[in-house]
């Protein structure tokens, strides 16, 4: 449960992250001190919180970047292309994106979101609204978000 809550920290409002982390640390067993030390030293000190906090963002993942990278790798289709092949692939990519822009300006929409993505977004929005209206406290908000960001793998293990 603690790890899921750590995974949910980026969804909290920026000003609540440090307080939530301290609360988590205080409520966790001593055996997890190394995990919290790592988290504080790396994710709180080395990488500023505002760089990994996604609470105010529409797109919270890098799936778009990974999708582009995958498509571009398929287009290049070589492990070590020469410069001319690479430039040609970049030109093809530019043409592709120019077409995408034209289509978007003409009213085309992107791919529809999956049922699961819509469900997750509704959960996040509902929890955020409850928190903003002081219907739940920070701990309850983080607890709710923790169920959104990670699946419980122990259920599958116990069923076998």
Using left for φ > 0, alpha for ψ between -120 and 50, and beta otherwise, residue 77 falls in: left
Assess contact for 93 and 72: CB atoms under 8 A: yes
Assess contact for 14 and 53: CB atoms under 8 A: yes
79-133 pLDDT per residue, tens:
899 999 999 999 999 999 999 999 999 988 877 778 888 888 899 999 999 999 9
DSSP string across 114-154 = PHHHHHHHHHHHHHHHHHHTTSS-HHHHHHHHHHHH---HH
Q: Which comes out higher in pLDDT, residue 103 or 159?
A: 103
21-46 pLDDT per residue, tens:
999 999 999 999 999 999 999 999 99
Asked whether residue 153 carries a pLDDT value surpassing 80, the answer given is no
**Predicted TM-score of the model (pTM):** 0.69
User: For the residues 46-53, what does the mean pLDDT come to?
Assistant: 91
């Amino acid at each position: 449960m603690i790890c899921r809550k750590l995974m949910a920290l980026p969804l909290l409002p920026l000003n609540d992250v440090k307080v939530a982390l301290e609360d988590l640390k205080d409520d966790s067993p001593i055996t997890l001190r190394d995990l919290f030390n790592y988290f504080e030293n790396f994710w709180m000190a080395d990488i500023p919180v505002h760089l990994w906090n996604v609470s105010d963002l529409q797109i919270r993942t890098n799936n778009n970047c990974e999708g582009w990278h995958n498509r571009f790798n398929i287009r290049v289709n070589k492990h070590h292309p020469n410069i001319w092949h690479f430039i040609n692939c970049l030109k093809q990519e530019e043409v592709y994106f120019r077409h995408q822009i034209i289509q978007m300006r003409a009213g085309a929409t992107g791919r529809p979101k999956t049922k699961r993505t819509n469900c997750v977004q509704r959960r996040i929005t509902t929890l955020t609204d409850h928190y903003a209206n002081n219907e739940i406290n920070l701990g309850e908000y983080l607890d709710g978000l923790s169920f959104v960001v990670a699946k419980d793998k122990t259920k599958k293990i116990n069923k076998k």
